[in-house]
Structure 1
Amino acid sequence: MITLAHISDIHLSPLPQIRVGDLVGKRLTGYLNWKLKRHGEMNVETLARLVAHMQEQKADFTAVTGDMTNLALKSEVVRAGKWLEDLGDSERVAICPGNHDAYAIGALEQAQESWGDYMKGETLEGEAFPFVRRVGELAIVSCSSAVPMPPFIAAGRFEEKQASRLARMLKLLGDAGYFRVVLIHHPPNAELQHPSFGLRGHRIFRQVIATEGAELILHGHTHRSSIHHIPGKGHEVPVIGVAAASAAQGGTLDDPARYNLFRIEKAGEGWECTMREWGFQRLGADIVMRMQMRIY
């Protein structure tokens, strides 16, 4: 049996010291949004408690689906790298980037350099994404939907070239009998699309999954716990989102902080997979198991 933990939308706080010169373009609107709304919704103590609880589960691997930072300032990126080191060794942790990690031109490249092996793996054509991590019979395929966008737009993008590489990876891994988990920050299912915060290229992504298949897709971005499905090769593929890991109780914007834990095991010619959702309720101070369900 292999255990996989999923956490997302870290949004490390508080913001570092801000200089006037930092607030150019989208970072200005992002800073105002943080000061007016988000600073009271994202809580570093909440994040610390959730992560400590998750680490007690001793998962074999941890997947982080992006938004480590808020404005992708250099100091935020460096701090996020140190947070990843505290989370676990890079051999047991992988991250796909979120839109906040690519908030400005050059920010994603800075994150790739700073986060190093946490955002690397086996690749095709020498391109950074998708990359693959393999743990026993589990294959984690990390995609990127993170691109700089204009102010007030939190959308992502998934293009044909990355889709082609993803298709080849899923084909190879499927033929080899792996349980394939695809990570992407923005949800790819049609129900959660919107011009200002959806995934541009979501149809291309879904076509790859429909053609080559996968066993599980994990995402963040919405700050909500959610379960959807998209067509796959031979069966529907669960698309599972998780609430933001730093979302404080009593907030008005998001679900309280949560993480998911998957237990995956080969069963004859198929798989058994159970998901447990752990996190805070809107009332009460404890982290509890909110849900348990069989995926396969």
Structure 2
Amino acid sequence: MITLAHISDIHLSPMPAVGMRDLLGKRLTGFLNWKLKRHGEMNTETLSRLVAHMQEQNADFTAVTGDLTNLALDSEVERAGRWLRELGGPEKTVVCPGNHDAYVPGALDYARDQWGDYLRGETIEGEAFPFVRRVGEMAIISCSSAVPTPPFMAIGRFEEKQAARLGRILKLLGDADYFRVVLIHHPPNAELQHPSFGLKGHRLFRQVIAESGAELILHGHTHRSSIHHVPGKTHEVPVIGVAAASAAQGGTLDDPARYNLFRVEKTGGEWRCTMREYGFQRLGADIVMRMQMRIY
């Protein structure tokens, strides 16, 4: 049996010292949004308690689906690297980047440099994404939808070249009978698209999954717990989102902080997968198991 923990939208706080030179372009609107809205909705104590609870599960591997930072300032990216090392070693932890990690041009390149092996794995064609991390009979494929966008936009992009590489990777891993988990920050299902914060290329992503197959798709971005499905090659593929890991109770924007724990094993040639969701309720101070369900 393999256990996989999924956490997302870390949004490390508090915001570091910000100079006027840092607030050029989109970072100005992002800073104002943080000060007026988000700083009261995201907090370090919530995140620390959730991570401590998750670490007690001693999962074999942890997937982080992006938005470790807020404005992708160099100091934020460096702090996120330290946070990742506290979360777990790169041999047991993988990241796919979020739009806040690519907030301005060059930010994602700096994150890849600072986060090192957390953002690396087996690739094809020498390209950064998608990359693969293998854990026993599970293969975790990290895609990137993270691109810089104009102010007031939080869209992601998934383009044809990455799609072609993802298709090849999924086929190779499928032929080798791996349990394939695809990570992408922005949700790819049609139900969660929006002109200002959806995924450009969501149809292309779903086409790749329909043609090449996968067993599970994990995402963040919405700050909501959600379960959807998209067509796969031989079966419907679950698309599972998780609430922001630093979302405080009592917030008006998001679900309270949560993480998911998946248990995967093969029995009689068939995959079995169960999911447990842990986190805060809207009322009460404890972290609880909110849901348990069988996926396969």
Task: Indicate whether the TM-score tops 0.5.
Answer: yes
Aligned residue number for residue 97 of structure 1? 97
- Gaps of at least 5 residues in structure 2 are none
Per-residue CA distance 1:150-209 (angstroms, 9 max, x = gap)? 000000000000000000000000000000000000000000001100000000000000
Partner in structure 2 of residue 154 of structure 1: 154
Letter paired with 2:176: A
Alignment-derived partner of residue 196 in structure 2: 196
Q: Which amino acid aligns with 1:237?
A: V
TM-aligned CA deviation for residue 129 of structure 1: 0.2
Distance 2:288 2:194 in 1: 32
Partner of 2:113: 113
Q: Which amino acid aligns with 2:90?
A: S
SS in 2 for 1:218: strand
Structure 1 match to 2:207: 207
Question: Aligned partners of 1:139, 1:245: CA distance in 2, in Å?
Answer: 24
Aligned partners of 1:79, 1:165: CA distance in 2, in Å? Answer: 31
Provide the C-alpha distance between the structure 2 equivalents of 1:150 and 1:20, rounded to a whole number of angstroms: 19
Which residue identity does 2:200 align to in structure 1?
R
2:52 is matched with: 52
Unaligned runs of 5+ in 1: none
> Which residue of structure 1 aligns with residue 29 of structure 2?
29
1:76 — aligned with what? 76
What is the letter of the counterpart of residue 211 of structure 1?
Answer: E
Residues 96-123 of structure 1: CA distance to partner in whole angstroms, max 9, x if unpaired? 0000000000000000000000000000
> How many equivalent pairs are there?
296
Give the superposition deviation at 1:270: 1.5
Match for residue 278 of structure 1?
Answer: 278
Q: Match of 1:278, as an amino acid?
A: Y
Q: Secondary structure at the match of 2:223?
A: coil
Q: Report the Cα offset of residue 267 of structure 1.
A: 1.6
For 1:142, give the aligned amino acid: S
Q: Measure, in 2, the Cα distance between the counterparts of 1:190 and 1:253.
A: 21
Partner of 1:42: 42
Structure-1 separation of matches of 2:283 and 2:59 = 27
Q: Under a length normalisation based on structure 1, what TM-score does the superposition of the two structures give?
A: 1.00
Distance across 1 between alignment mates of 2:288 and 2:186: 26
Please give the per-residue CA displacement for 1:202-260, whole angstroms capped at 9, x wherever unaligned: 00000000000000000000000000000001100000000000000000000000000
Q: Which amino acid aligns with 1:261?
A: L
Structure 2 residue matching 1:235: 3-state secondary structure: coil
Q: Distance in 2 between matches of 1:261 and 1:69?
A: 23
User: TM-score, normalised to structure 2's length?
Assistant: 1.00
Instruction: Measure, in 1, the Cα distance between the counterparts of 2:233 and 2:271.
Output: 15
| CA distance in structure 2 between the partners assigned to 1:12 and 1:140 by the alignment | 24
Partner of 2:241: 241
Amino acid at match of 2:275: M
Secondary structure of 2:238's aligned partner: strand
Aligned residue in 2 for 1:186: 186
In 1: Cα distance, 2:122 partner to 2:267 partner = 27
Task: Report the equivalent of 1:287.
Answer: 287
1:269, distance to aligned residue in structure 2 (A): 2.1
